[in-house]
Amino acid sequence: MRKGRRWLYIVHRWIGIATCLLFAMWFVSGVVMMYVAFPQLTDRERWAALPTIAWDRVLVAPDRAMAIAGVASYPRDLRLVMLDDAPVYRLLDWDGAHKTISAVDGRPIDGITPEQALAIASHHPNAVHPQMIGTVARDQWSVTARYDPLRPLFLVSLGDEDGTELYVSARTGELALDTTRRERIWNWLGSIPHWIYPTVLRQDGAIWRQTVLWISGIGLVVAVTGFWIGVLRLRLRKHYARGTVTPYSGWMAWHHIAGLIGGIFVLTWMFSGWLSLNPGDYFSSRGPTRDMAVRYAGQDAPRIVASFQSMPAPGAVEARFVWVGGHPLMVLIDRDGRQTTVDPGSGVATVLSDDEIFAAASRLLPRAVMTMRVHLHEFDAYWYPHHGERLLPVLRVGFDDTAQSWFHVDPRNGDILGRTDNSRRAYRWLFNGLHSLDFPLLLRHRPAWDIVVFLLSLIGMIVSTSGVVIGWRRLRRGSGPRKTKFYAPKSSEAALGQRHLPWRR
């Protein structure tokens, strides 16, 4: 028991000294991340920066564009937008490849000039005086693999007060990303240190993942051993000599008491942060597979008869082509995000019924029976907008397969918005619940969520900051005699003698 306890203290002390700065950084950066997210281009930001589609210039049908692109089966995404002043089809295949085909003459587009990039950026609502900064292969904000099919990227400054910078794909002319001065500054105090996200490490996804898994795993050991020691040293009944529940004074006392008060949350935060890397690939993916999408579409061959002579939404900036239950549809979206669903052959507005969507969804899992058909009009524990936009109403369908799969579907256009099963629902509580405190009671009263998370983060800062001070003093003192003051329980100090007290060791 003595050897085990001694090693418990040694492990916590020395690994704690090595990681206490990381703990302090995680708590401070976590507070920043409550209000400033890592830069990304949302659909609404992309729609706002697109010109209105010039329908009279669209001379190539969508099925012809897919044939030119070499897409012989159902694509992941197909849309018609403007590339500056020319309409183009943008295709996303299931292997992640991006292809752009001119809707004017069917010419594949595999590169744009810097002048074209400036013209594309000039359509952004914040554009004041666009200027070319240069060409970026990979930087801090475009470090992840999602941008690989679009590289290299032209970086354009819009010259506005917010310091907005756009990343335009030099291959396809797509808007890939936008950042503002505020996002760039605050993320150096938020997401970058919190996720251990420097470009030199994050550019290799596999190495970065293993690094963070090991660092957070070691941090979890520190948290477990620290809480264990805190409980062992606590005296709630037989107080120490000064009548205190802790044998420590000064920074050690702060570290002990704050660690006990916030120890459970430190443990759950470390554990859930470690789980966010999906160790062992236990948690399933969020999106439908290609086979699911094909069954839902009811059509694998990309055939669409489209007419662009008369459009009921003349202000559309994007036209998406989808299939639902074997029926092709064209979804027109304007700059404000309003959507109109039309028949692509006639251009006549049409409305998908819930029954049509449910009938198509029943084919998502061929070996399972659909057991749930829900029309959600309110957010619940599994569909809520805390960390991103979520629309209402939404359809939820469930199946009796082994994983108890659910799918959420947009009733306006039939888009599958996400897939969840038992593992994803467990992840919702083990990560979103424990790490972000996404509990319905707090989310319904957003100021309460902010207050609770901030107070718990403050306790974590006290624990980690006191650990930094204690560790620094320990390193300066080296192996010399310890100066920390301890107090024995009133009833046992005289009888046992100082040299026999375990807390003196």
Q: Give how far the C-alpha of residue 106 lies from the chain's centroid of Cα atoms, to the nearest Å.
A: 36
pLDDT score of 389:
81
Range among 1-5, 69-73, 428-432 rated most confident: 428-432
pLDDT score of 431:
93
pLDDT score of 308:
80
Q: Is the pLDDT of residue 417 over 70?
A: yes
pLDDT digits (tens, 9 = 90+) for 228-284: 988 888 888 888 877 888 888 899 999 999 988 888 888 999 999 999 988 888 888
d(CA 57, CA 308): 9
Mean pLDDT of the chain: 89
d(CA 214, CA 18): 14
Length of the chain: 505
Q: Is the pLDDT of residue 493 over 80?
A: no
pLDDT score of 350:
86
pLDDT digits (tens, 9 = 90+) for 403-413: 999 999 999 99
Report how far apart, in Å, the C-alpha atoms of 331 and of each of 296, 343, 361, 415 are: 17, 9, 19, 10
Residue 98 is classified by DSSP as: E
pLDDT digits (tens, 9 = 90+) for 325-375: 988 899 999 999 999 999 888 878 888 899 999 999 999 999 999 999 999
Report how far apart, in Å, the C-alpha atoms of 199 and of each of 86, 178, 193, 202, 317 are: 35, 17, 11, 5, 34
Cα-trace Rg, the chain: 29
pLDDT score of 312:
67
Sign of CA dihedral 253, 257, 258, 259: positive
pLDDT digits (tens, 9 = 90+) for 291-304: 999 999 988 876 78
d(CA 367, CA 3): 57
d(CA 63, CA 328): 11
Domain boundaries, the chain: 43-185
Closest by CA position to 318, among listed 48, 40, 42: 48
Q: Is the pLDDT of residue 501 over 50?
A: no
CB 131 within 8 A of CB 125: no
What residues form DSSP beta bridges with 134?
Answer: 155
d(CA 354, CA 411): 7
pLDDT digits (tens, 9 = 90+) for 69-96: 988 888 889 999 999 999 999 999 988 8
d(CA 53, CA 71): 23
Closest by CA position to 77, among listed 172, 178, 205: 172
pLDDT score of 420:
94
Closest by CA position to 364, among listed 300, 288, 286, 421: 288
Phi first, then psi: give them for residue 418, nearest 5 degrees.
Answer: 170, 160
Q: What angle do CA 88, 93, 99 make, to 5 degrees?
A: 30
pLDDT digits (tens, 9 = 90+) for 384-395: 987 778 889 999
pLDDT digits (tens, 9 = 90+) for 174-211: 999 999 999 999 999 999 999 999 999 999 999 999 99
Q: How crowded is the C-beta side of 157, counted as CA atoms within 13 Å?
A: 11
Structure tokens at 370: 């659909």
Q: How crowded is the C-beta side of 376, counted as CA atoms within 13 Å?
A: 19
**H-state helical runs in 203-329:** 205-233, 250-275, 290-297
d(CA 422, CA 402): 9
**Complete DSSP assignment for 346-379:** T--B----HHHHHHHHTTSSTTS-EEEEEEE-S-
Range among 53-62, 161-170, 258-267 rated most confident: 161-170
Q: Is the pLDDT of residue 444 over 90?
A: no
